Amino acid sequence: MKRLLVGAMALALGAVPATAQSLDDLNIQIHGYATQGFLYSNQNNVLTTHSSDGSPAWDEAVLNLGAQPIPKLRVGVQARYFLLGNYGNTFTLDWAQADYKVDDRFGLRVGKVKMPVGLFNETQDIDPSYMFALLPQGVYSIASRTTLLSVYGGNAYGALKLNQLGTLEYRAFGGVREISGDDGNFLAARESGITLPQGLAAISVGATLRWRLPVQGLMIGASDFYNPQKSAPIVSTPTSGANVTSTNGTITVTAFHEPFYFVKYEEGRFLLAGEFNKISPHQIFALTGQATRASISDDRAWYGMATYKVTGKLTAGSYYNQAFNVAAPLGPKRYFKDWTVSGRYDFNQYLYAKAEEHFIDGTLYGFDTTLNSILLPTTKLTILKFGVSF
């Protein structure tokens, strides 16, 4: 049924003229995009899809409505349909905000707003905006991206010109993150029979600084955000045995912060980028009548990336990503190493295609046990993706 709705949404998008509608009188614009991805893995199933058999279970459709009634004020809303294996099959509100920009030095966004952390977080779910089909999963895990995407709250932002020292851009945010019980962060819990019927709502505050240096095209930056301790109700249902009585309890996620450090150089046909990130939240499960148990993670991840615009329509690129859960026992489940080579072809300003090959060593990210009774340590993953945007 949801695939029929996606098809209808795509048809509706196509029925809009190929250029975005601009309702001049009300200064309203409509934009959108839709993507279809195909995954094939030589062994192991990835991202909760049957990728070892070839899987088309990766769809996205986005509809964006915006208006600029006066030069300093923008309002907008964006809705999304997202399907990836068992991670999502839902319509969600991406963001809905009012944005008042006093001048280049200060602006304010309120509503459901994107979290401005890291190099790619604000655009990690915008497939048309980057060349790779999958961003480095150690830092931008598609399985758990809803935890990093947006907050109900606000952003303050601006850029300060430093004369000969370049430009310093800042973004600060605060609000409540609503994390679905289906999020990839809780995958291991779900596989052991624990569900979060109400998800988890957590306060987050953070900031990003980006320094565009006087060297043309060079930018360095850092972000951090903080979450205080938060609890939510859980229900545990045995996954095996005759006893199917559910037990109630709570999950507590201890306080943590998540820093990012990044650098980007973009000049002419080249783009070089690198980023480091770490996060160590602990999940504590307390079920009625049972001993408390903890799931401890201490993840460190980094990547180096390069892309080159071969022609006006063709871009090629590669990245190497490494991630470790320092708290995990030794073995492939402790790490994730991924060499990726990729190409993107823009047929025109509306239509594009991506082809990508991942050489993965380790199973720290993107491998569930429901579809993988035996997890092998290495995986070759091929991705084809088609997209249309206007």
Partner 1 sequence: MKKLLFAFLFVASASIFVVQAKAQVIVIANNSVKANEVSKNDLKDIFTGASTSIGGGNVVPILLKAGTAHEEFLQAYIGKNDAAYRAGWRSLVFSGQGTMPKSLEGDAAVVEFVAHTPGAIGYIGKASPHEGVKTLQVR
Binding site for partner 1 (CB under 8 A): 19-20, 22, 29, 31, 33, 62, 64, 66, 68, 71-72, 74, 76, 78, 95, 97, 99, 101, 103-104, 109, 113-114, 122-123, 126, 128-129, 159, 268, 309, 312-313, 346, 348-349, 389
> Nearest approach, Cβ of 237 to partner 1 (angstroms)?
38
194, β-bridge pairs: 236
DSSP one-letter code for 61? E
Strands 270-279 and 230-236: unpaired
CA nearest 251: which of 284, 216, 297, 282? 284
Whichever of 60 and 182 has its CB closer to partner 1, that residue is 60
Whichever of 96 and 284 has its CB closer to partner 1, that residue is 96
DSSP one-letter code for 143? G
Whichever of 55 and 64 has its CB closer to partner 1, that residue is 64
Whichever of 146 and 325 has its CB closer to partner 1, that residue is 146
- The side-by-side arrangement of strands in the sheet containing 282-287 is 194-195, 230-236, 247-253, 282-287, 293-296
> Nearest approach, Cβ of 301 to partner 1 (angstroms)?
22
Dig out the tokens for 389 from the structure. 């945007």
DSSP one-letter code for 147? H
Neighbours of 373 (CB within 10 A): 6
Whichever of 346 and 361 has its CB closer to partner 1, that residue is 346
Whichever of 132 and 335 has its CB closer to partner 1, that residue is 132
Dig out the tokens for 176 from the structure. 């409540």
> Nearest approach, Cβ of 81 to partner 1 (angstroms)?
14
Residue 15, C-beta contacts closer than 8 angstroms, at least 6 positions apart: none
CA nearest 150: which of 225, 222, 62? 225
> Nearest approach, Cβ of 95 to partner 1 (angstroms)?
5
Query: What are the residue ranges of helices labelled H in 174-226?
Result: 187-191
Whichever of 56 and 128 has its CB closer to partner 1, that residue is 128
Whichever of 44 and 315 has its CB closer to partner 1, that residue is 315
> Nearest approach, Cβ of 273 to partner 1 (angstroms)?
15
Cα 225 from Cα 176, distance rounded (Å): 12
> Nearest approach, Cβ of 382 to partner 1 (angstroms)?
24
> Nearest approach, Cβ of 120 to partner 1 (angstroms)?
10
CA nearest 254: which of 301, 309, 294, 210? 294
> Nearest approach, Cβ of 131 to partner 1 (angstroms)?
10
Under 8 Å between Cβ of 169 and 209: yes
DSSP one-letter code for 127? G
Residue 295, C-beta contacts closer than 8 angstroms, at least 6 positions apart: 188, 189, 282, 283, 284, 285
